[in-house]
Every structure is written in structure tokens, then in C-alpha cells.
Amino acid sequence: MSAAFFDRIAGNWDSRNIIDKKKISLALDKAAVNKGSNILDVGTGTGILIPYLQERIGSTGQITAVDSSKNMLKIAKSKYCSENITYLNEDVETADSSSKYDSIILFNMFPHLKDGLGTVKKLSPNNLKNGGKLVIFHSLGRERINKIHKRAGTEVENHKLMSVDSLSAIFKNSNINVLERFENDELYMILIGSKQLNKT
């Protein structure tokens, strides 16, 4: 991931983001985030999802918020400090973890992965509990996201999303269990289950 790029823009990241609670609620519903859930928030950034996760999981749930940008995490920690939040400054693509989660959420960050397919293949089923869910979720439509990245500069201009149909087909060909997929001009989402597909 582009840690140096996000370190530089961390200070004004929150001002760039428009929060849509309905879209976040939909994604958390799909990911089955409930009271007591153990959550991995991949690419947590400045912690945009954290208050919504905390509201759902209550005092008995746990959040592991991971990001490769130390400056993003510094801001997240300054905003949200709780015993049930663990912050990790690491690259999920290369980190080796055996921890298991009820839900893994990749919110507004998937195209910034160097190897999105490899990362999802590692996270599911390795880090999902049996019956757990992984959701790739963007609160804007694909075309708008790709235009934003193109305008942002050379470091992220090629960080593009493909259609949910195309990406889902790639996942399925790699034995990844795609449960649902959906996109329109305002939303992009792929839901993945812990159980691998049977190879034929």
C-alpha cells in the first residue's frame, strides 16, 4: 500500500470524506457486525468506521484497526481511545497473523492494495472465523472513485476499481466464496464468506 502518500495527506483526510451513515450501516449489516463481534478494520485510516463499529459491537466486542500509514493511525488514536480497540501500524498484505475475526472490512481502500487478490485469498479463510464475512465496500461509485484517483497524482492514479462482476469472477476463479456483489453510481460492494469454493 502507499503508506508514504497517505502519511502526507493524513492531516486533511477527514475533511475530504463525506460520511453517509446509511451506506455504512448497509455494509455493516452485510458484514454481520453485531454485539460482541470481533472486527478487523483493514486500512482504518483516521478511524472513520470506528464509532459505527463501536456502536454495534458494544463493550464486549473487539476492533483491530490496521493501517500502513503511521500518520493516519496517529489521528485515529487521538480521536478514539478505548480498551476494545487495538491499533496496528502494519501492511496487511505482508503481515503474518493467525487471528480470527467475525468480520473483516475493507472500506474505501481496496484499489490501494498492491495485490488485492492475494490479500483477499490470505484473509479469507485464514483470518475469518467459520461463518465470518469479509466485505469490500466503497461509499462512492466505481467511475467516480477512479476519477478521484486519477486526479490525485502519480502515486495513486493507477489505483483503479474494476467492475464488481469482473472482480467477483477473478475471486471465484481463485476459490474465493463470493456471496453477494452490487454496484451503482453511489455504491460498490462485494461480500465474501469464509468457506472456500470447491475446486472443480
By the 8 A CB rule, do 41 and 63 touch?
yes
3 state SS of 103:
strand
**What is the pLDDT averaged over residues 4-25?**
80
Answer yes or no: is pLDDT of 61 > 70: yes
For domain 3-193, which CATH number applies: 3.40.640.10, 3.40.50.150, 3.40.190.10, 3.20.20.220?
A: 3.40.50.150
Question: Whole-angstrom Cα distance, residue 167 to residue 172?
Answer: 9
pLDDT band at 198 (very low <50, low <70, confident <90, very high): low
pLDDT digits (tens, 9 = 90+) for 86-125: 999 999 999 988 899 999 999 999 999 999 999 999 999 8
Digit-coded pLDDT (tens) for 22-45: 999 999 999 999 999 999 999 999
Task: Round to whole Å and give the CA distance between 48 and 127.
Answer: 22
Structural domain spans, the chain:
3-193
Q: Are 13 and 45 in contact (CB under 8 A)?
A: yes
On the question of pLDDT at 1 being above 60, the answer is no
pTM (predicted TM-score): 0.91
